[in-house]
Amino acid sequence: MSQQTINDNEMIDILVIGAGTAGLTAYKTTKRIAPTVNIKICDPGPLGTTCARVGCMPSKSLIQIANNWNSYKKLNNLGLTSDSSGKINISKVLEHVRKQRDKFILGPIGFLEKQEKDGCFIRGKARIVGKNPEGQYEVEISFNHTEAKSHIRAKKIIIATGGKAFIPEQWNLPKDKIKSTHSVLTTENFFEQKDIDQKFAVVGMGVIGLEIGQALANLDIETYLFGDYSKIAGIQDPIIQKHAHQVFEKQSNLNIVSSNVHLKLNEQGQVEISTDTQEVTEKFTFNQVLVATGRRPSIADLGLDNIGIETSNFNSFKEQLTNNLEYKDTGLYFCGDINATNTILHEASDEGHIGAIDAISKLKNESLKKNSKRRTPLSIVFSSPQISSVGMTYEETQKSSDKYIYGSSSLERQGRAITMLENTGSIRVYAEKATGKIVGAEMICPKAENIAHELAWAIRDQKTVHDMLKGPFYHPVIEESLRDVLRDLAKNLTLEQHDPLFD
């Protein structure tokens, strides 16, 4: 069926490679803004986007159940429940996560099926094979479940092939055995598991490793989290890091092992993890392990070497991307996780938009209203409590630390946090000394997802500490902690705009 959506050697204006968040946004933007542009999008599947299929959404679905279960256990510990014999059923939890996942992927899949009927979606894998003298790219499309191949020519290409979880090659794990035993998992197949072993390891203390590892611990699974503890979840601010360590060390069922590790399959098919920071190497044995050691851009199979683009030194390749994400002036755009810059969903979507607008402008030779200016940086870790970073990072402010002032507040005695049984963590906000403008923040606290948005919008609008203090702060809310931080900052500002009522 998909072969019918292209005639061999058909010429089009724009080909979008990859129907994830960035690719779909690029495609939809083009259809909306320039309906006469001949655009097609291709993807061999599995369809549904990384976010909905194996990423943001199933992980948040799991975390939500884990948090709910944790709240129930807190009530139990306080003697507030009548029955303390409850046990969580992990296989039912995973089934629930998959049911929700199946709903989330319906939207993108339904949209692509409609585009397929209209002849605009090609269910196939793209590889660039050359560039003709007219400057058009020649792309080979391999179709699923058949040897058949077709070719398409495109003036511009938006490459949005995302990234993939990987298992480090140096462990030399036998691929077929891992596949058949499901002993070493990545996020590509974790949510497919029908059950999880009661003792489980997560390798990697980045955002994904922490989120899933802590969720499993909250679901009463004896979880071991391996990795570099000093970099857990990418936290930079030493005060936030200290609070994070306090929180995670108190977490039940979570065993933190700060070390580089080596994985090996033993004869029984179990995974042996050895650490290398101890004088005597320590060994741990598990039936199941999730490897969350990062994601790699899906760039190797795109045939870029056929047109003289070298990507083995990825950083040098990346340096050649313009603000509009075009590689030099080639008409090739690299949007979303493929460029491994801001590998989060709203950035992938923005990048699809930015790439599409630039491609359309150049095709039509007219300058469309463009905005390649990026939004205020914002990232959220859905741990418990949540962690967030907004605007300038701590390390960025430290490069000229005399220009900035730092305010903080602990959540330990915060009224609302106490009623929520979540009075841990801290908020740190950074402001420019000369103007009082808020420039960045990092926090670990309940409802960080909300506080972080408020701060991101304040930074976007160039608000000062005093501007923010003029806002109402209802009682009792977590935002009162943000007010404490702002007051702490205000102490270090000698500005005329002080107003006793609002300070």
Ligand X SMILES: Cc1cc2nc3c(=O)[nH]c(=O)nc-3n(C[C@H](O)[C@H](O)[C@H](O)COP(=O)(O)OP(=O)(O)OC[C@H]3O[C@@H](n4cnc5c(N)ncnc54)[C@H](O)[C@@H]3O)c2cc1C
Report the alpha-carbon distance of residue 261 to residue 282 in Å, rounded: 10
Going from the C-alpha of 500 to that of each of 164, 466, 503, the distances in angstroms are 54, 11, 5
Going from the C-alpha of 79 to that of each of 10, 144, 256, 424, the distances in angstroms are 70, 57, 29, 21
- How many residues sit in the footprint of ligand X (CB under 6 A)? 33
Report the alpha-carbon distance of residue 370 to residue 390 in Å, rounded: 25
**Does 154 sit near ligand X (CB under 6 A)?**
no
Q: Residue 179 phi/psi, 5° resolution?
A: -65, -40
Identify the residue among 14, 15, 17, 34 touching ligand X (CB under 6 A).
17
Closer to ligand X by Cβ: residue 64 or 81: 64
User: How many other β-carbons are positioned within 10 Å of the β-carbon of residue 229?
Assistant: 17
Closer to ligand X by Cβ: residue 124 or 407: 124
Closer to ligand X by Cβ: residue 85 or 312: 312
Spatial contact of 447 and 415, defined as CB atoms under 8 Å apart: no
* Minimum distance from residue 56 beta carbon to ligand X (Å): 4
Identify the residue among 13, 43, 358, 488 touching ligand X (CB under 6 A).
43
**Does 378 sit near ligand X (CB under 6 A)?**
no
Identify the residue among 112, 126, 378, 451 touching ligand X (CB under 6 A).
126
**Does 125 sit near ligand X (CB under 6 A)?**
yes
The interface region with ligand X, picked from 158-166, 269-277, 409-417, 489-497 by CB under 6 A, is 158-166
Question: For the stretch 483-495, what's the b/e string if a residue is b when 16 or more beta carbons lie within 10 angstroms of its beta carbon?
Answer: ebbbebbbeebee
Closer to ligand X by Cβ: residue 30 or 50: 50
- Name the region of 388 (left: φ>0; alpha: ψ -120 to 50; beta: rest): beta
Closer to ligand X by Cβ: residue 48 or 331: 48
* Minimum distance from residue 204 beta carbon to ligand X (Å): 11
Closer to ligand X by Cβ: residue 19 or 239: 19
Identify the residue among 5, 49, 251, 464 touching ligand X (CB under 6 A).
49
Spatial contact of 294 and 314, defined as CB atoms under 8 Å apart: no
Find the binding residues for ligand X in span 68-97 (CB under 6 A). none
**444 closest CA partner among 249, 254, 252, 243:** 243
User: How many other β-carbons are positioned within 10 Å of the β-carbon of residue 6?
Assistant: 21
**Does 108 sit near ligand X (CB under 6 A)?**
no
The interface region with ligand X, picked from 231-239, 257-265, 295-303, 432-440 by CB under 6 A, is 295-303
Give the DSSP H/E element, type plus range, for residue 58.
helix 56-77
Closer to ligand X by Cβ: residue 139 or 469: 139
Identify the residue among 2, 5, 21, 214 touching ligand X (CB under 6 A).
21
Report the alpha-carbon distance of residue 164 to residue 91 in Å, rounded: 25
Asked whether the bond before 476 is cis by omega within 30 degrees of 0, the reply is: yes
Identify the residue among 62, 201, 233, 345 touching ligand X (CB under 6 A).
345
Asked whether the bond before 385 is cis by omega within 30 degrees of 0, the reply is: yes
Identify the residue among 29, 136, 343, 397 touching ligand X (CB under 6 A).
343
**Does 383 sit near ligand X (CB under 6 A)?**
no
Contact string 297-336 vs ligand X (x = CB under 6 A):
-x--xx---------------------------------x
The DSSP secondary structure of 74-108, one letter per residue, reads: HHHHTT-SS-------HHHHHHHHHHHHHHHTHHH
Tokens 């402008």 -> residue: 361
**Does 23 sit near ligand X (CB under 6 A)?**
yes
Report the alpha-carbon distance of residue 393 to residue 18 in Å, rounded: 31
* Minimum distance from residue 55 beta carbon to ligand X (Å): 3
* Minimum distance from residue 496 beta carbon to ligand X (Å): 40
Show the tokens assigned to 227: 């990795």
The interface region with ligand X, picked from 42-50, 353-361, 453-461, 471-479 by CB under 6 A, is 42-50
Helix, strand or coil, per DSSP, at residue 279: coil
* Minimum distance from residue 277 beta carbon to ligand X (Å): 27
Identify the residue among 93, 348, 448, 451 touching ligand X (CB under 6 A).
348
Contact string 194-223 vs ligand X (x = CB under 6 A):
--------------x---------------
Give the DSSP H/E element, type plus range, for residue 241.
helix 238-250
Closer to ligand X by Cβ: residue 31 or 74: 31
**Does 20 sit near ligand X (CB under 6 A)?**
yes
Closer to ligand X by Cβ: residue 73 or 153: 153
Q: Which residues neighbour 31 within 8 Å (Cβ) at sequence distance 6 or greater? A: 39
* Minimum distance from residue 65 beta carbon to ligand X (Å): 16
Closer to ligand X by Cβ: residue 59 or 214: 59
10 Å CB burial of residue 178 (0-12, 13-18, 19+) is: buried
Identify the residue among 161, 218, 293, 388 touching ligand X (CB under 6 A).
161
The interface region with ligand X, picked from 12-20, 110-118, 304-312, 480-488 by CB under 6 A, is 12-20
Tokens 């190497």 -> residue: 281
Spatial contact of 69 and 25, defined as CB atoms under 8 Å apart: no
Note the residues at the interface with ligand X (CB under 6 A): 17-23, 42-44, 49-51, 54-56, 59, 125-126, 160-162, 187, 208, 298, 301-302, 336-337, 343-345, 348
